[in-house]
Structure 1
């Protein structure tokens, strides 16, 4: 592919913004990596007012008004939990709206490229089924925070929000969504929707908001809404519209807070994610029965062993936490 057909939207703050820390010079590293691995690609930096843009080698700048934080839930003690979801929606959406090339990338300003394998990967798996066929082509995403399991249990629609590559209209469809309204507590739902279970994850909420444009019946009640038909629906949509692979496979580098001793980079965190061979398996099941999956049995045995050690034991603790949340709320 001619990289001139790709626009990269680098979205987010350049420096620490509204008390949210940012690794020094990480955005410079991000943009430099795009120049290295996608020579000729157009770079749009979509950020906030009053950011120091000195030395940043972008082609186009988009400055948006800060929508501020959003509140998605409260603690048991009544403290609002604040998130940056609306900031991510605005900076991603407004940048993607400016794209004029056939293909686009949405990447966080604190991530960077380590290769360009995602370009070839996006073309490799092209067969589709008619059911839940939402996008024109598949969109490549990272498996970092694309969870198969959370708190020990299977989860649905838990798609990473770090990196997206695909047709511009498809990537835009994932981010051209309404801002989240603040959660309003009530006697029936004092903590979060789905209480005493855990609030739906940000990644689930973002992805569902996008795909509801294609099917209004798609929804989740809470993080662990893992009824069988929900998990099957999630697998079908993921298989037919996305390609999920590790950062190393895609060619994506993560900032320091997601490396080293960070929970997501430890084995216990890694094995909870949807693995590439698992994505291949659901693609094989729902879209193309003819594909061969390298070392499937070996990889399946390996991941099952480590999930037995690190994932499934969390189920008891999760059930106990839900019980405690319910009892504490009854007492209050």
Structure 2
């Protein structure tokens, strides 16, 4: 099946789509004009017969929007995970994403569900077939009932020039409804309180864990409390292998083109994630297939050597040189901390 094409199926009545997030510009979260309407219309086009659930916030402009059910949740507000080296609070929308996704999924009555951001849209339904294409799994690290299909956008294999574990995108999920509920029925993040003790420099040797790492890990800890990261670059060999096992057994990682997922304008063009540097730092579908072959199905075909060589060369140019920049920055931060100043 070619990327961007749709399965020949006229009814998707066993699937519900939770479109979560703001419908328009919402406080500190700008939205592309008309993007949520485009999102909802794309679901009608590519998943005919599915149930469409819009999960959003009070005060949104809903006129003209086509959905089957509406979920309105009280806004939990932004959360402060830590304070920066300058003492300023670092605010995130982690709790907003948890609430709008969790509450939407609680309204699902179908066997399967999609979690889709309100500022993205569908271009096909290839993800339905992808979810069924990789049947083999191992006896360990097999936590979900079935595989969940996710996007490789922001599913990073490299960050700051180094391999990183558990860095899973929060853009798109498709799988069993009970599995998506497992992944998103999460406790809210508590706000950091003390600019000294909850300071980035005091808490982390390198960089704070990414938000997407923390969503995935909080879900996995329901099955294995040993799964954790201390920081973004917590990359011991055992941690990376643990991460790969979880990816190989519970997910299918694929590009937007392979899934049938469209991204809003802020993630396209000159956006960092759309440049070669950003794209080659992400997991590629064939790389996920490689760990699937390694851990789950030894008979699965290997990727062509030319494909591997091409990505290796791109990373040699765009990813690995960043290591030196990271090392220098971490050294300066450590010297600043040792001198007693918050920087």
Answer whether contact 1:69 1:85 (CA < 8 A) is retained: yes
Q: State whether structure 2 residue 176 is matched by structure 1 residue 171.
A: no
The equivalent position to 2:255 in structure 1, one of 246, 251, 273, is: 246
State the match for 1:232 in structure 2: 241
Normalized against structure 2, the TM-score is what?
Answer: 0.94
> Distance between the aligned counterparts of 1:137 and 1:43, measured in 2?
22
Matched position secondary structure for 1:170: helix
Correspondence list, 1:247-286, <5 A:
247-286=256-295
Residue 192 of structure 1, CA deviation: 5.7
Matched position secondary structure for 1:3: coil
The equivalent position to 2:224 in structure 1, one of 207, 215, 232, is: 215
Residue 40 of structure 1, CA deviation: 0.5
Answer whether contact 1:76 1:325 (CA < 8 A) is retained: no
State the match for 1:17 in structure 2: 26
Query: Per-residue CA shift, 1:221-244, capped at 9, x if unaligned?
Result: 000000000000000000000000
> Distance between the aligned counterparts of 2:245 and 2:202, measured in 1?
26
State the match for 1:158 in structure 2: 167
Residue 73 of structure 1, CA deviation: 2.1
The equivalent position to 1:307 in structure 2, one of 291, 301, 315, is: 315
Answer whether contact 1:134 1:241 (CA < 8 A) is retained: yes
The equivalent position to 1:326 in structure 2, one of 317, 327, 334, is: 334
Correspondence list, 1:86-101, <5 A:
86-101=95-110
> Distance between the aligned counterparts of 1:212 and 1:227, measured in 2?
19
> Distance between the aligned counterparts of 1:186 and 1:225, measured in 2?
23
Residue 60 of structure 1, CA deviation: 0.1
Normalized against structure 1, the TM-score is what?
Answer: 0.97
- Distance verdict in 2 for CA 1:245–1:187, change over 3 Å: same
Matched position secondary structure for 1:7: strand
Q: State whether structure 2 residue 205 is matched by structure 1 residue 204.
A: no
State the match for 1:56 in structure 2: 65
Answer whether contact 2:83 2:195 (CA < 8 A) is retained: no
Residue 189 of structure 1, CA deviation: 5.3
Gaps of 5+ in 2: 1-8
> Across the two proteins, how many residue pairs are aligned to each other?
331
Q: Could you say what the CA RMSD is over the residues aligned between the two structures, in angstroms? A: 1.2
Residue 324 of structure 1, CA deviation: 1.5
Answer whether contact 1:76 1:328 (CA < 8 A) is retained: no
Query: Per-residue CA shift, 1:54-106, capped at 9, x if unaligned?
Result: 11100000000000111112221111110000000000000001100000000
The equivalent position to 1:121 in structure 2, one of 111, 122, 130, is: 130
Residue 142 of structure 1, CA deviation: 0.1
> Distance between the aligned counterparts of 1:330 and 1:187, measured in 2?
14
> Distance between the aligned counterparts of 2:304 and 2:141, measured in 1?
26
Q: Which moved more, 1:184-193 or 1:283-292?
A: 184-193
> Distance between the aligned counterparts of 2:39 and 2:48, measured in 1?
14
Matched position secondary structure for 1:23: coil
Matched position secondary structure for 1:45: strand
